[in-house]
Each structure stands twice: as structure tokens, then as C-alpha cells.
Structure 1
């Protein structure tokens, strides 16, 4: 048997019935409270049970209120277990314990029922009081609703007037702000376009001046190169002529010396083998021939001296011309270095000017961007403050309908978004213009750098060419020096040979003077 069945049986035995609850809420509360108490009692009863050896289904649980039902099972149990008196005693003690617990439960349930009745009475009193308060509040709300309707109509009219006035003011403010921004943007763009035009004009003028200087330098270089080529050709032709003339003179002198040696040997042989009769005559002829040869040698020496003098003059002339060319080359190098330095300074000045102007443009752009951001931020804060004030005012008054308030706020947010979108578009366009101007400046700077590099390459090539020409001139100078030394050596050799011939002639003359008697004796005999 369950605890709830025991409780109901106990209440029936004592003649107690639960009162009907006047309200559904109190009845539900009472039922929940009874359910909690019953569960607590079931837990206490279950915890106090002593487990028996037999299964729970074999031990019948008699009802507390019906003694006949208890005695019947007890009699049948005793009849069934006559051989086990201990089991009977345990069953009887269990029945007594259950009866005692049932009495305790019944007393506790009575206390719970009284507490529930008291609480139900309090709840009914509170419900009645709440109904009275609710009726008074409804009456107050009806009166307040009528007052608020009147105020709402007045506020709606004032709100419409205020909205019209606010829209007109916002439209005028937006138009004035748009005109101000447009005028300022137009003035700034005009100023920047004028600055860019002036800068482009100056750069174009500088480019034209640079191109003119480069053309002048190119023409000067071509003229100097052609002049150097002509001088080199002249020097080459003159060197060839001098070389050819020197070789011819050398060959002529060599042939003459060989002829003189041969003639001298023949003369010596004839003098030794000639007869006494013709010795003096032949000697006279030989002397005449020797004198002729001496004159020829003198003429050759004079011609050689003249050639040497002419060669020295040519060498001096060539050295003077080489000195002038070196001076011209040195001055040309100085002019090129000066032109390169001036071009470098101009390029550096233009680069610095462009950098300063770019920094100024960046600073002005940053200042303009900051000013625009500050204006936009102030405008946004103003609009947000207006929205917050309107929302707060609407919440305080409580008279503006919610859909209308939401629509108005959406319109304000839309106008704010449009304004910010226009500002962002204008800023992007301005940034695009500045980037295009910066790209043009970078392109012009690249062109100037390319021209500078080209000029530097041309100067380097020109310097290399001048160095090569100087090396060639030095080589030719060495060649001419070597040729001059060869001519000096040949001249000294010729002088030595002349002195040798003169000594031999003097010896022959002395020999002829010492032998006059030897010549006359053969004549007398003949």
C-alpha cells in the first residue's frame, strides 16, 4: 500500500475532508505543497523500514483504518506459517510500526492542511486587494489617456511645425555647407592646377634648356672630333712624308757612301798599280773627284742638316700643336666637368624643389583631410546629438507613435549616410587627382634622371675617347722621338765617316807630296 492511500484512508477513518479551494491558483499551490509534503513523508517512511527476508510482494500491507482487513491477512498468514512463530511476531511489530507512522503522518497532514487554509485566506485577501487596485488604476489610466490624447494632438501639431522648420533649416544648412565645400574644393583645385601648370612650364623650360645645352655640347663635340681627326690625318701624312724623306735620304747616303768606298778602293788600287807616268794625272783627277765627292758630301750634309732642321721645326710645331690640343682637351674636360656639375646642381635643385613641393602638397592634403574629417566628425556628432535628444524627448513625452519615430530616425540616418558618402567620394576624387599629379611628377623626374644618366654616359665616353687620343698622341710622340734619335745617330755616323774620309784624303795628299821624285824618274826614263 502507498503512502497516499494510507493518508486518504486515515482521513476517511477520522471523518475529515479537504475543503474546496475558492480559486484555481490557490488550489494549484495547495496541491503542489501537498505533493512536496507527501514526497517528504514517503522518504522518511522508506528510510525507517526494516527490510524483511521475504519479498515485498509476499508481505501484505493492511490498511490502517480497517482492522478486519488487518486481522484477515494476519489469520491467513498465521495459518500458513504455524511452524514459524518468529515470523508472526515480526509481522505484528511491523504492523504496529506502520500504524504509528500512519498516525504521525495524519497529524502532520492536519498541520499542513491548516497552514494551507491560512495561506489560502491570505491569498484571497490579496487577490481582492489587487482587484481593487486594478480597478482604480484602470480609472486613472482612462483619465490619463484622455489627457494624453489631448496633449498628443497639440504635440503632433507642434511636432509637424518643428519638423517642417527643421527640414527647412537642414536643407538650408546642407545647401550652404555643400556650396562652401564645393567653393573651397574648386578654389583648391584651381590653385593646384595653376601650380601644376607653372611647374610643368618650368620643367618644360628646363628640359628645353637642357636639350639645347646637350645639342650645343654635341655640336661642340662633333666639331672637336672632326678637328682632331683632321689634325691626326695631317700629322699622319706629315709623319709618313718625314719617314719617307728620311728613308730616301738614308738610302741616298748609303748609296753614296758605298759608291765613295768603291771609288776609293778603286782609286787606291789604281794608285798602287798605276804606272809612274800617269800617277800624278790620275792623282789630280782623283783629287778633283775627291773634291767633288767632298762637295757632294757637304751638299748631302747640308741637305741632311736642312732636313734635320725642318724635322725639328715640324717636331716643335707638332709639340706646340699637341700642347694646344692638350690645353683644348683640358679646357674641354673642365667645361664638361663644369657642365656636368651645373647639370647635377640643377637636377639636385629641381629634385629638392620637387621634394619640397611634394611635402607641401602632402602637408596641405593632410591638413585639408584633417579639416574635412573634423568638420565631418562635428557634423556627425551634431546629428547624433540631435537624434539622441529627439529619442530622449520622445521617450520622456511618450506621445510620438513608434512607427513615425522609427521612420523619422531612418530618414535622418539616411541623410547622414548620404552626406558621409558624398564626403568620401569627394575625398577619393581629390586623392585620385593628387595621385595623378604625383605620377606626372614622378614621370618627369624619371625623364630628368634618364637625361642625367645619358649626359653622364656621354661625358664618360668623351673622357675615355680623350684619354685614348692622348695615349695615341703620346705613342706618336714616342715614335717621333725614336725617329729623331735614329736621325741623330745617322748624322753622327755620317760625321764620323766624313772625318774618316777627310783623314784618308789628307793621308793621300801627304803621300803624294812626299813622292814627287818617284814620279819624275819614270818620266825621265820614258
Structure 2
């Protein structure tokens, strides 16, 4: 009888049933087999050996089937573990993407803070320029008042001193106006460069929708300050024009009185009256130049407002595009969250089904092992019975004849049985430990899967709430942008109306001043004739200047 091949035990129940066969019992069974073998014939002994071999082969086949089922179970567990690892990797990728988005949001917030600080510095510089312009206007007004007093006293002096004083005053006034023009041009260039820098900064930061609220608020404050400054400047310019017009009317009245008094003294005072009229013409021309400059300033202001309107339109378009992109991104995130939730739900359901299937398989395997243990116990009882029969047969065989070959074969069989039982006990112990480890591993995996399911559920709820909050924030920002655009349109229309009114008022003042000058001059044809407004316009365009009566030439 050949030695059985060691096989892997199927379950812990089989371990307990097989471990019951100790070496002492095997020796006892071998002794009884020897005793029974003596009483049996060779044919009966071979039949018993064949029966025992068949029983052992059946047990080996059952153990092989159990081992095959174990291997399939382990393969399925490995595949599930790989799927769980892949799911963990995808979750880690999503976490990294979320961290990148949070870092990008922090960078945008820092950029918005820097932009606000730069805008605050620009606003402070603009306020300082405005105060400086106010101081210059006040100084110019004070200087004009002083000049008026000097001119009133200079009218009582002699012709030479009066002409020299007036020439000096006109030179000073021309220098002052020239300095004011250069200062205004310098301020305008500074404002244009500041506006260009601000436009570049706004263009670069237009994509940062997270800082739109602060940036739009800062733009609104700057626009309101510009409106207030422009309105203040317009009021100041209007007051200056009114003062100058009143001064001009008073001066013309005094000149007319002097001309009426000097009518009887024409030969003696003609040169002084002519100089006074030349001076009046130069003053009127200077006032006209000042009005032209103010008109240019108004035109530049209108151009600045137009550029600001274009820039606001570009910002509104960019904000709308960015809003649409953000909404699309939020929709994509929501779709991704929904897909992730569905995948997580499917994965959890599949894992639950797998665990249920494993539990059912373990129950079925435990049932099979219980049946196998019962069969092994039955085989053990039969084997014990056979051992008893063999032990009873051995003495008979010894008495019947030479028993050396039979004794050797029985001894060899005993050694093989002892070795087989030892191997089976060791193999069953190993398999028992492996099965316990597999059970603990399955329990730990079930806990990990449940934890992962809870984490995914919480993450999905957080993502949904964040997406809803972001959608509400985008809607609020869109409403704020629309309100700002409406406010800017109303301010632009109001500014346009005020500009048109100011232009109309300036034109009326110019026309009244020209009519008054023409009327006063034409009333005294014996002295000299003031050039007509058409001639003054031609002289303004002629670089050679205006030729006055008496041969004097005045630069245009």
C-alpha cells in the first residue's frame, strides 16, 4: 500500500477532526490491525486495504476541491483589493486637484489685495493732484485780483509808465498762463499714464472673478471721486469765467466812460486810448485763449470718460465670459460629483454584494466542512474497526506460518501511517492559522470599505453645498456688475448733459463778450475800429499775429 500524498486541509473543523488522530492512537490501531491480520486471509486483507485506499482517495479529492475553492476565493479577494487600491488612487487625485484649486484661490486673493493697495495709492495721488490744482487756481485768482488793483492805479499815470506797466503785467500774465498750461498738460500726462497703468492692471486682473466684488467697489469709488472732482473743477472754472466776464464788463464800462470824456481831447489822448484798446483786445484774446483751453480740457475729459466707458464695457464682457466659464466649471464639478457619487454607490453596493457572497460562501464552506468532518469521523471509525480486525488477524497469521514479510509490510505501513498523520496534523494547523488570518483580513477590509463609503458620502454632501454657495455668489456678482453698469450709464448721461450745458454756457458768454466789445468799440468810430470777430478768428489761425491800428502787431 503506497503512502498518501499530503494535501491542504479545507477548514478548521477538519483540523480539529484530523488532529484527534494522535500518534498513540495510530500505534494502537496498527497493533490491532496486526492482531486482526493473523485471523484474516490474504484475500480479505487485500480487500480491506483496497477499501482503505478508496476512502483515502475520496478524502484527498474532497480536500483538493476545497483547496480549489480557497484559491478562487483568494483570487477574488486580490482582485477586490486591487479595485479598492485603484479607487483610493482616484480619490487621492481628486484631493490633490482640490488642494490645487484652494492654492489658486489663495493666490488670487493675494493678487486682489495687491491690486487694492495699488489702487489706493493711485487714489491718494489723484487727491493730492486735485488739492494742488485747487491751490494753483486760488493763487491765480489772488494774482488776478492784485493785477486788477495795479491796473486801476496804473490808469492814472502817464502814458509811458502806463504802457510799460501794462506790458509788464501782460508778460507776467502770459507767463502765468503758459506755466498753468504746462502744469495742466503735465498733470494730464500724469493722469493719462496713471490711467494707462490702471487699465493694464485691470486687464491683467480681469480673469480673477473671486476679487471682482472688491475691484468693482474700488472702481465705483474712484469713478465717484472722478465725478466729484470733475464737478468741482467745472464749478470752479464757471466761477472763474463769471468773475472774468464781470471784470471785463466793468473794464469796458470804464473804458467807454474814458472815451466819452476824452472825445474833446482827441488829439492829446488818442495814443493813450489806442494803447488802452490794444490792451483790452489783448485781454479779450487772452480770455478767449483761456476759454479755448478750458474747452480743450472739457473735450479731454469727455475722451477720458469715453475711454473709461469702453474699458468698463470690456470689463463687463470679460466678467460675463468669466462668469459663464465659472458656471460651466461649476456644472462640470457638479456632474463629476454626481458621477463620483454614483460610482461610489455602485462600488459600495458591489462590495456589499461581494461581502454577502463571501459570507454565503463561508457559510456554505462551513457546512461542507461539517459534512466532511462527519465523513472523516465515519471513516475514522471504520479505520479503527479495520485496525482492530487487523490486530486480531496478525496473531493468526503468525501462528499459520512464516510471518517475516507480513510483519515487515505491517511495520512499513505503520511508519507510513504515523508519518501521514503527522503531516496531516501539521498541514491542518497551518491551514487553520491561514484561515483565521483570512477571516481577520476580510473583517478589516469590510471596515475599511464602510469607512470609505462614509467619507465619500460626506465629501459628496460638502461638494454639493459648496457648489450651491458658489452659484449663489456668482449670481450676486452678476447682479452687482449689472447694477454698476447701470450706475455708470446714468453717470455718463448726466456728465454728457452737464458738459453740453457748460459748452452752451461758455459759447453764450463768449458771444455776449464779443457783442459787448464790438458794441463799445463801434460806438466810437472816431478813435479806431476794433477788428471784427471774423478778423479775430483769421488772426487766431494766422501765425503772424493780429495787426492793430497804429502799426502794432500782437502775437496770436
Give the TM-score normalised by structure 2: 0.49
What aligned pairs does 1:461-480 form with structure 2 within 5 A after superposition?
Answer: 461=466, 464-465=469-470, 467-468=472-473, 471-472=476-477, 474-475=479-480, 478-479=483-484
Q: Please say if 1:196 is aligned against 2:77.
A: yes
Residue from 341, 366, 374 that aligns with 1:344: 341
Unaligned runs of 5+ in 1: 1-155, 388-422
Distance in 2, Cα, partners of 1:502 & 1:201? 87
**Deviation at 1:260?**
1.7
2:319 corresponds to 1:322: yes
**Deviation, structure 1 residue 496:** 0.8
| 8 A Cα contact 1:280 1:519, kept in partner | no
Partner of 2:362: 365
| C-alpha separation in 1, matches of 2:488 and 2:329 | 31
1:446 aligns with 2:427: no
TM-fit CA distance, 1:320? 1.9
The range that moved more, 347-356 or 328-337, is 347-356
Shift of 1:329: 0.2
Q: What are the superposed Cα offsets for residues 454-503 of structure 1, whole Å, 9 maximum, x if unpaired?
A: 35424633653464365346435534542453243133113212212322
| 1:255–1:490 CA distance, 2 compared to 1 (3 A) | same
2:247 counterpart (231, 242, 266): 266
What is the rounded CA distance, in whole Å, between the counterparts of 2:36 and 2:516 in structure 1?
Answer: 165
Q: How does 1:120-519 map to 2 (within 5 A)?
A: 179-180=60-61, 182-220=63-101, 222-223=103-104, 226-227=107-108, 230=111, 233=115, 234-235=201-202, 236=215, 239=219, 246-276=227-257, 277=259, 284-285=281-282, 287-375=284-372, 433-434=438-439, 436-454=441-459, 456-458=461-463, 460-461=465-466, 464-465=469-470, 467-468=472-473, 471-472=476-477, 474-475=479-480, 478-479=483-484, 481-516=486-521, 518-519=523-524
Structure-2 change in CA distance of 1:488 and 1:510 (3 Å): same
| 2:256–2:520 Cα contact (<8 Å) kept | no
Q: 1:375 to 1:339 in 2, by over 3 A?
A: same
Alpha-carbon separation, structure 2, partners of 1:169 and 1:270: 150
Distance in 2, matches of 1:344 and 1:523, equals 99
Considering Cα pairs closer than 8 Å and 6+ residues apart, tell me whether 1 or 2 has the greater RCO: 2
Q: Could you list the per-position Cα deviations for residues 412-466 of structure 1 after superposition, in whole angstroms to 9, with x for gaps in the alignment? A: xxxxxxxxxxx9x999995884464144133134224414533542463365346
- Distance (Å, rounded) in 2 between the aligned partners of 1:244 and 1:517: 48
Contact map agreement 2:344 2:453 (CA 8 A) in 1: yes
Calculate the aligned-residue CA RMSD, in Å.
Answer: 4.7
**Does the CA contact (< 8 Å) of 1:347 and 1:448 recur in 2?**
yes
Give the stretch that moved more between structures: 161-170 or 201-210: 161-170
Deviations 1:8-52 (A, max 9, x none): xxxxxxxxxxxxxxxxxxxxxxxxxxxxxxxxxxxxxxxxxxxxx
For residue 143 of structure 2, what is the aligned residue in structure 1?
A: none
